[in-house]
Structure 1
Amino acid sequence: MQILLDYEILRLIWWVLLGVLLIGFAVMDGFDLGTASVLPFVARTDTERRVAINAIGPVWDGNQVWLILGGGAIFAAWPMVYAAAFSGFYIAMFLVLATLILRPVGFEFRNKMPGSRWRSAWDYALFAGGVVPSLVFGVAIGNLLQGVPFRIDQDLRIFYDGSGLFELLNPFGLLCGLVSLSMLASHGAAYLALKTTGNVADRCRTVASMLPFVTIVLFALAGVWIALGISGYSLAGDVDVAGPSNPLLKTVLRQPGQWLANYASHPWLMAAPALGFLGALGLIAASRVARPLAAFLASAVSIFGIIATAGVSMFPFLMPSSLDPKASLTVWDASSSRLTLFVMLIATLIFLPVVLTYTALVYRVLRGYVTTAQVEADGHKLY
């Protein structure tokens, strides 16, 4: 118990928990987004699109709990990060929320009228609801790696001095966005190959055996770009890891290639990018031999590796500042109080198993394929 009460350990635990929640969101809600992203390419008729939509229709809202948990964790454990992120990325977040709203609307409305134009319009709305969030989430990570233009005054008020959405859509940010999009689209194709049969499953296996190559190339290109062209951040001097949450009490250095320093100090961290590459290769191999469950699990491993790579590369930084590096928010100086972190940890230990148990039960009840015959026979009950 004494160890749990230590401020340094609590901060580290919450950094890990934040990563778990973000990876959980990418794995669970990621296949919903990915399914919508590949929908026009793997489902060509109205019946085939209904098969694909009904593969995620019963579970997408439950999967989105991971997004809520991630946002809640940032708000509770890292309030300064929450404030800076919502100030700097609010237009991008509004765009994400607007397109995410298209998902429930599209699910509910597309089957209300028989017209092909009506259904096609909602299918493309679902497509946008998959592509835009997948892209924007990656763009956000790309901008974090470059540093965000915010500053903090002596009263610890945060000021964002960026110019808006188009500033975020810089070349490296867009590259990271494409990594995210291809990663989640591959994940969605792997899920559909697991849940469907016939032409839809065949096309999904084809996509899942080819698109991960794009992820691999883009992920490698992003790594080279970081090594050669992106200045990373490091803490200089002694750091009080159990000190007060005041970002201005530290000295920060910025220099090219610094985001790779953690790998030099701790070579075992290379496991993260290795899993990103190996998982994508495993997805390709399993898809080509028609092993859909193995392909889906390999895709989840790839997602884990790619997101973990960003996290361990930046550690202990959570949100670096490009305007004033000293104002950068880190694990050691941007957290809530020790008491808050401890109380939230107890709540997480109680409720996270509930979420995991509920999720496991839902997927067990809904196991099996969604088939064309099922959709045609129960049309009035399905999307």
Structure 2
Amino acid sequence: MFDYATLKLIWWLLVGVLLIGFAIMDGHDMGVGTLLPFLGKDDTDRRVMINSVAPHWDGNQVWFITAGGAVFAAWPLVYATAFSGLYWALLLVLFALFFRPVGFEYRSKLPNPAWRKGWDWGLFAGSAVPALVFGVAFGNLFQGVPFDLDDSMRSSYSGSFWALLNPFALLCGVVSLSLLTLQGATFLSHRVEGPLQRRTILAARVCGVVLLVSFSLAGMWVARMEGYVLESIPDVRGVLTPLMKEVGRAPGGWFANFNNFPQLWIIPVLAYAGVGVVLACIGSGWTLLSFVASSVACVSVILTAGVALFPFVLPSSTHPDVSLTAWDATSSQLTLTVMLWVALIFTPVVLAYTSWAYRVMAGKITRDYIAANDKQLY
């Protein structure tokens, strides 16, 4: 069907598509959860917010789970190295995510205000912490992760959890958190009305400004950073290991793909344009357009990072030559081919049932609706 090099490139793109799907779909759930304790002025407001995403949040987690599975199947060495070396960070994400299903299910089981307020903050933690950590992870990719590989391809990690929380990584965490919160705010503004909608619009504007500022600062920081440069590698159409190449570092190295292919600069420009449309339109009643524009910003921010990193997937700060790339950390050609057929068959199915579910559940969530269905809703 495709040669080995093309399959490697296709799976780099498909993993990116899954991350984008997660940011757009599960991102707006997490954005609403992040805003929950701040925009909901009373219990009914907060139930309106929760029920705006309640029919879909668990289905949207498919994107996150599938992305992890795709990394395992397409880049097993990346999965093994990252999931062992970054163990504590991944546990933090996992423990935070525990609050989401439990919080959705149990929050409204008791009328006690303290009980419900506690679960509101639990849903906040389950939404904001993963969004922040995902950005921190990308920030550390740009700086390199401290791991090495021996002759038998066993990885050893020499970093610590606290070293991951460095200034640049935290700035990238702000980019990620503001991006997903903006996605949640634009979605919520389309689903609610009245005073809650006005507060949501204000939140979207604040998140948009924070995103523009943090994204710009991160870009300027990357421009002055020593990026990784692939200096030599055997034929990428063959079977390679990470020990078969040479990698250097150079100031501005992460901008090499943009400089070599200037048309790619349209990607970060679209991020600014998407946020600009949100800021210009969300207060004028164009809430659906604002959500689409926010989704464009999600696509553009993730693609900007992906294009800058390519072909690196997991750079090594300890020994740059063993950095894992899309060319030498992949599964076999047969595995990638079988997985591609699975993706071609099931991705349209996922998109079809997701579109159907959102169409069926469309419409405003109001305070009257919550009161009329008090016993059936979250």
2:325 to 330, 334, 340: 330
Q: Which amino acid aligns with 2:70?
A: A
Give yes or no for the alignment of 1:152 onto 2:145.
no
1:314-329 alignment, distance < 5 Å: 314-329=309-324
1:71 to 65, 68, 71: 68
Give 1:271 deviation, angstroms: 1.4
**Backbone CA RMSD of aligned residues:** 0.9
Question: Which residue number corresponds to residue 216 of structure 2?
Answer: 220
**What is the alpha-carbon distance in structure 1 between the residues aligned to residue 135 and residue 304 of structure 2?**
13
**What is the alpha-carbon distance in structure 2 between the residues aligned to residue 144 and residue 18 of structure 1?**
16
Gapped runs of 5+ residues in structure 1? none
| Structure 1 counterpart SS, 2:243 | helix
Give 1:243 deviation, angstroms: 2.2
Give yes or no for the alignment of 1:25 onto 2:8.
no
TM-score normalised by structure 1 residue count: 0.97
**What is the alpha-carbon distance in structure 2 between the residues aligned to residue 276 and residue 166 of structure 1?**
30
| Structure 2 counterpart SS, 1:120 | helix
1:129-278 alignment, distance < 5 Å: 129-163=126-160, 165-228=161-224, 230-278=225-273
Aligned 8 A contact 2:223 2:251 in 1: yes
Q: Which amino acid aligns with 1:210?
A: V
Give 1:239 deviation, angstroms: 3.6
**What is the alpha-carbon distance in structure 1 between the residues aligned to residue 11 and residue 354 of structure 2?**
22
**What is the alpha-carbon distance in structure 1 between the residues aligned to residue 38 and residue 26 of structure 2?**
20
Give yes or no for the alignment of 1:52 onto 2:49.
yes
Runs of 4+ in 1 over 2 A off after TM superposition: none
1:56-135 alignment, distance < 5 Å: 56-135=53-132
Give yes or no for the alignment of 1:364 onto 2:364.
no
Give 1:240 deviation, angstroms: 1.6
TM-score normalised by structure 2 residue count: 0.99
Give 1:237 deviation, angstroms: 3.0
| Structure 2 counterpart SS, 1:253 | strand
The number of residue pairs the alignment matches comes to 378
**What is the alpha-carbon distance in structure 1 between the residues aligned to residue 298 and residue 232 of structure 2?**
34
Aligned 8 A contact 1:240 1:332 in 2: no
| Structure 2 counterpart SS, 1:235 | strand
Give 1:238 deviation, angstroms: 4.8
Q: Which amino acid aligns with 1:135?
A: L
Q: Which amino acid aligns with 1:319?
A: L
| Structure 1 counterpart SS, 2:108 | coil
Q: Percent identity?
A: 52
Gapped runs of 5+ residues in structure 2? none
Aligned 8 A contact 2:33 2:123 in 1: yes
**What is the alpha-carbon distance in structure 2 between the residues aligned to residue 8 and residue 100 of structure 1?**
36
Give 1:109 deviation, angstroms: 1.1
Give 1:126 deviation, angstroms: 0.5
**What is the alpha-carbon distance in structure 1 between the residues aligned to residue 149 and residue 250 of structure 2?**
21
